[in-house]
Structure 1
């Protein structure tokens, strides 16, 4: 349940946590009350959901202090050695999408559209899903026939991203290209960036559960490094 709140972000509801953890809602409520009582979770101000509490932050801080200093680039380079895909890291600082570590061996196709057309790529949709202060361009420019240009459909997709914990891009910025992105968080579980993989539509797909899990595990190792 702590992992559900960490992945889905502050304000996650009990129903969303129950779905993520695969437990009945009644069981989730009982366990959530215990976690709140012990300080591992707190209720958000409007009582609509939960966020990580002080004791969880203390555990994360203690774990960080017990590990040797390591840079984001060191971890990403090590991850690149375990996959045939190119891995890229973006920062969402200040509500802006900015690439902070690009894979030198794998070019990002349509890179100029990432920050400009947030609705048309996995990193941009990840930012939109987790930072309510950032809004997509009202025009929702159509880059390909697959680009989502309907605000209602985009809102639904952003809700799915918050629930599933990752974003998908399928020929929305360039025909024949697909991508996946998972959130990178700080020590308080706030989404501060994304781990991004892009490739052909045949190779990069959410149906590849091994790839999705690899990205989740990699993003977890990057916690607190942006």
Structure 2
């Protein structure tokens, strides 16, 4: 590898920055620049330059005595975004009870600041398009339900683009906005062949009274079973109402 090339210098700085963050996470608050240079055998000039940059970007903060460093809120944001939400036992039991009442897949989805996450997937019917569901919010029932709660829905979409995943995926902003308005009126969302051909999903909001939804209870299956899935709407809404105080 030729480290003299600009792209390689950037790669080296990125790798060393992650090594510094890992070291401070392991050594704990108050880790000093000398601790970094000794642990990583890193030149002091490199360590100081990267430490200052990490502080400037709020990945690190200085300790009150200004002698050491600790992890900043930018790092804790990554950790919380990547961690699976904790599901109380009572909520898990309720989910299992509801799953026993339907032959369809039942998933618990939680809403993050700008995304959604499957917090508890049906072990008997694992989601087939989990990555696409979380990335392309405009194409899934849970994603559209999440977008319908946002003041500026398109701001939560990747680069404000509506990617076409199937022939039925909504790719027009006005059409999506119209769909989101209907979701708000009826208080549930449906996708039919939009995320994956031959698959459909119903998503009902999970919310405590007076608060915006913190997640969704989703029922999924094959597209020809949509009417059968719709027949579970009332029971799904009742289950969501029971889940809300256990989760949020």
Corresponding residue pairs, total: 157
Alignment deviations for residues 40-99 of structure 1 (CA, whole Å, 9 cap, x no partner)? xxxxxxxxxxxxxxxxxxxxxxxxxxxxx9621111011111111121001103232011
Alignment of 1:8-27 (within 5 A): none
Stretch moving more, 114-123 or 85-94:
85-94
Q: Which has the higher contact order (CA 8 A, sep 6+)?
A: 1
Q: Which residue of 1 aligns with 2:106?
A: 87
Residue 132 of structure 1: how far off its partner (Å): 2.2
Q: Tell me if the contact between 1:186 and 1:225 (Cα under 8 Å) persists in the aligned partners.
A: no
State how far apart, in whole Å, the 2-side matches of 1:79 and 1:208 are.
13
Q: Which residue of 1 aligns with 2:26?
A: none
Residue 217 of structure 1: how far off its partner (Å): 1.3
Alignment deviations for residues 13-36 of structure 1 (CA, whole Å, 9 cap, x no partner)? xxxxxxxxxxxxxxxxxxxxxxxx
Partner of residue 71 from structure 1, selected from 90, 114, 127: 90
User: CA, structure 1 residues 208+93, in 2 after alignment: closer, same or farther (shift >3 Å)?
Assistant: closer
User: CA, structure 1 residues 117+99, in 2 after alignment: closer, same or farther (shift >3 Å)?
Assistant: same
Q: Which residue of 1 aligns with 2:143?
A: 124
Alignment deviations for residues 156-197 of structure 1 (CA, whole Å, 9 cap, x no partner)? 000000000100100001111111100001354320000011
2:162 pairs with 1:143: no
2:216 pairs with 1:197: no
State how far apart, in whole Å, the 2-side matches of 1:122 and 1:162 are.
13
Q: Rg bigger for which structure? A: 2
Q: Tell me if the contact between 1:147 and 1:173 (Cα under 8 Å) persists in the aligned partners.
A: yes
State how far apart, in whole Å, the 2-side matches of 1:218 and 1:204 are.
19
Residue 101 of structure 1: how far off its partner (Å): 0.8
For 1:223, what is the secondary structure of its paired residue? helix
If the length of structure 1 is used for normalisation, what is the TM-score? 0.65
2:239 pairs with 1:224: no
State how far apart, in whole Å, the 2-side matches of 1:220 and 1:89 are.
13
Structure 1: 5+ residue stretches without partners:
1-68
For 2:94, what is the secondary structure of its paired residue? helix
More helix by share: 2
State how far apart, in whole Å, the 2-side matches of 1:133 and 1:156 are.
14
Partner of residue 212 from structure 1, selected from 230, 233, 236: 233
Partner of residue 177 from structure 2, selected from 133, 152, 155: 155
2:115 pairs with 1:115: no
Q: Tell me if the contact between 1:98 and 1:115 (Cα under 8 Å) persists in the aligned partners.
A: yes
Q: Tell me if the contact between 2:104 and 2:229 (Cα under 8 Å) persists in the aligned partners.
A: no
State how far apart, in whole Å, the 1-side matches of 2:188 and 2:206 are.
11
State how far apart, in whole Å, the 2-side matches of 1:177 and 1:185 are.
26
Q: Tell me if the contact between 1:176 and 1:201 (Cα under 8 Å) persists in the aligned partners.
A: yes
